[in-house]
Chain A
Amino acid sequence: MIRNFIKILFLMIVTLLTTHEGSATDPLKLTLNKGRFAKILVAIHPFESMAEPGIEANIRKVIEADLNNCGFFYSVDRPAFPETLKGFGAQPRPDLWKKLNISAVLNCRVYNKNFGTLGIDCKLYDLVTGRHLSFPFTFRPEQWRRVAHMIADSIYCRLMGYPKGYFDSKIFYVSRSGKYSDPNFRLAMMDYDGANHRFVTDGMNMISMPAMPNSGKEIAFVEVISDKKKNKQHKIYRMDLLTHRKSLVGNTSLSTYAPAYSPDGKFLVYSASKDGNSSIYLMNLETGQARRLTNTPGVIDTSPSFSADQRKIFFESDRNGKQQIFSMNVDGSDIQNISYGNGKYCNPVCSPVSEWIAFVKQQGSEFSLCVMRPDGSGERAVALGNGNVLDTPTWSPNGQVIIYTRQSLGDKKGRGRYSRLCSQDVTGRQENLYPTPTDALDAAWVG
């Protein structure tokens, strides 16, 4: 109860701080003030282990990192614990832990199971409500990171009251390396925390704009292909992530860009263009039939995104002279402008679970990452460019965090240039930068 009250208070403070369009000073500068937020203290007790040594400490470290990185928790170090639990069966004494403001204690035991698998039993003592949670997992030893993320998700969901976490998730992105004027673009993937990084494509052809369905079984992206006459074109491909088999989307002579899946994974919405005339198309992935949804000559309609309830498609268009965000029905009817403020409204992406739309706003040379409601209300900034270019937002599977591309153009001579993925909690409280091995852009997040 108290925790929920504090949560609501946070949201109110953030909303007050970041509501803009019309405030006296520049309100975009007020968003981030991490010191303002009290964190929920949790204790991850050392685990009992009857399995191979080290694995329990590794799991514990990843759980602590997940909780600390998300911005809502602080994992208290062991020396500060008021007592040591004698084994997995021992219950913590609530009065001792609550005196230190510790809200929850996690205790686990790891043991060997059949056929080389391991088991882990977890008990989460929620000292605020007095309601405790028990949950077990079975896993192969090499899956220890994934299990740690799943345990952290359970803690996060219980203590925050969300139905879904995001630690057990994967991020696909475009890796850029080599000379800036002729870079190598490869599709790469990693766990949400940057671990298990690997490259998925070889970088022979330029790729961009990856998108994934909620199932996580395939990925769509745009690849530059050449014909026999050396004529090049951007085309959307779908790739099965198990077999790595690739198939071309559509049999059009147009260039195709900006794919996005419907929430049920049965449709792909994208833009197709020729000579700068760009329209939104919808393809039924079962039949391969494509349907044109917008048709205004000479304009740039692009960056479509399905709403979570699959009843609307949002997209970006410059049909009124500058980039703005529009909504329409899935048959292309009832096109409405939902962006009223100053500046350019770009790259709308709908939350997978709520009505919030994330987008990039450009005012002069200043970029910000913003969210708003489907009717254009409630607009607020969640991350500021501060001179950097922000681009291509993507939501965490639970709709609580946004990963976006942050690009610095460096100094006068371009020294210090970089492009990195950043994650940003939608309340504006926690921003993390991914230390990818190369320049990174265009994330797709699935879990």
Chain B
Amino acid sequence: MRKLLISSAALLLLAACDSSKKKCHVGADGSVGAFEAGSAADFVHNAGDRVYFDYNKHHLSHDATTALDRQAAWLMNYPHVNVTVEGHCDERGTEKYNMILGEKRAKAVKDYAAALGVHADRLNTISYGKSKPQVIGNTEEAYARNRVAITVVH
């Protein structure tokens, strides 16, 4: 039922766009972006590419699932697009443990998107542990932005 709802929502949004599909895409938030439909830039700007996690956790928060609903809707609109979900951790931990924690985060995103109907074969995962921080800074805000799963369009 939920799957159906999201698909219909995505279809409605698409219908709002005119025929020049290449240039125009309406994002899940209703904004119109000037990105090639189905491109990596389109995904980042109109679906959002990342979800955040609590310290040492890999469970999806309410905010995370809301964000993933948009990602999944976008992915179902472009069934030819494959993605890699990258799991990341903040830097206040040890490398070997964080590598596996990042795997768990990527897996959580993959499972949720698959449950919404995105074919699991389209969702590759990899962990970068703490080796590729997205932002730097010795603050709680910076740590929080590094505890992230980023969906990257191939």
Contacts and interface: CB of A to CB of B under 8 A. Distances in A.
A111 to B, nearest CB: 49
Contacts of A278: 100, 103
B94 A360 contact: yes
Given A208-B95, A412-B139, A417-B136, A276 B104 contact: yes
A414 B142 contact: yes
A28 B96 CA distance: 24
B100 A300 contact: yes
A231 B97 contact: no
Interface string A404-417: 00010111111001
Given A276-B100, A407-B91, A442-B95, A414 B138 contact: yes
A65 to B, nearest CB: 31
A229 interface: yes
Q: How large is the interface on B (under 10, 10 to 19, 20 to 34, 35 or more residues)?
A: 20 to 34
A365 B100 CA distance: 20
A43 B99 CA distance: 49
B26 to A, nearest CB: 28
Nearest to A299: B100
Nearest to B146: A181
B107 interface: yes
Contacts of A300: 97, 100-101
Contact of A365 (B58, B92, B101, B135): B92
Interface stretch (B14-22, B33-41, B123-131): B123-131
Nearest to A229: B82
Q: Which of A273, A347, A360, A391 has the most CB of B within 10 A?
A: A391
A99 interface: no
B58 A412 contact: no
A300 B82 CA distance: 28
Contacts of B127: 234, 255
A397 to B, nearest CB: 22
Contacts of A233: 126
A360 B93 CA distance: 10
A181 B132 contact: yes
Contacts of A413: 136-137
Contacts of B107: 275-276
B138 to A, nearest CB: 4
B77 interface: no
A183 interface: yes
A417 B142 CA distance: 13
B65 interface: no
B136 A230 contact: no
Given A181-B132, A182-B132, A365-B92, A411 B138 contact: yes
Contacts of A273: 100, 103
A316 interface: yes
A346 interface: yes
Interface string B1-36: 000000000000000000000000000000000000
B96 A347 contact: yes
Q: How large is the interface on A (under 10, 10 to 19, 20 to 34, 35 or more residues)?
A: 35 or more
Nearest to B132: A181
A409 B103 contact: no
A224 B97 contact: no
Contact of A316 (B96, B104, B138): B96
A229 to B, nearest CB: 7
Interface in B81-133: 82, 84, 91-97, 99-101, 103-104, 107, 110, 124-128, 131-133
A278 B107 CA distance: 13
Given A231-B84, A232-B124, A181 B134 contact: yes
Q: Which of B100, B126, B127, B132 has the most CB of A within 10 A?
A: B100
Nearest to B83: A230
A362 B94 CA distance: 9
B142 A208 contact: no
B145 to A, nearest CB: 11
Contact of A257 (B96, B124, B133, B134): B96
A302 interface: yes
Nearest to B95: A391
A93 B133 CA distance: 62
B154 interface: yes
Contact of A303 (B96, B110, B133, B139): B96
Contact of A181 (B58, B103, B104, B133): B133
Interface of B: 58, 82, 84, 91-97, 99-101, 103-104, 107, 110, 124-128, 131-139, 142, 154
9 contacts: A232-B84, A273-B100, A273-B103, A302-B99, A302-B100, A389-B91, A392-B95, A409-B138, A414-B135
Which 7 pairs of residues, A with B, have the shortest CB-CB distance? A414-B136, A276-B104, A275-B107, A409-B138, A231-B124, A346-B94, A276-B103
